[in-house]
Amino acid sequence: MEILVILVPLALMLGGAGLVAFLWSLRSGQYDDLDGAAWRAIADDEPPQEAPAKR
């Protein structure tokens, strides 16, 4: 059962890291535009040089 001495603090630290990451993401405004973020994930980085002809 001595393993608890390592495992419990480890689990808490991991959980705490998650909480800190969440608070940081909140502060940096990552939840301000949820609709836009969904699209940005699949947006192309660079536009093609010439727009394709209208269908």
Residue from 3, 6, 19, 55 binding other proteins (CB under 8 A) = 19
Distance, in Å, from the CA atom of 19 to the CA atom of 15, rounded to the nearest integer, reads 6
Interaction between residue 36 and other proteins (CB under 8 A): yes
Is the CB of 47 or the CB of 53 nearer to other proteins? Answer: 47
How many residues lie near other proteins (CB under 8 A)? 24
Among 3, 6, 32, 52, which residue sits at the site for other proteins (rule: CB under 8 A)?
A: 32
DSSP for residue 49? S
| Exposure string for 1-10, b = 16+ CB within 10 A, e = fewer | eeeeeeeeee
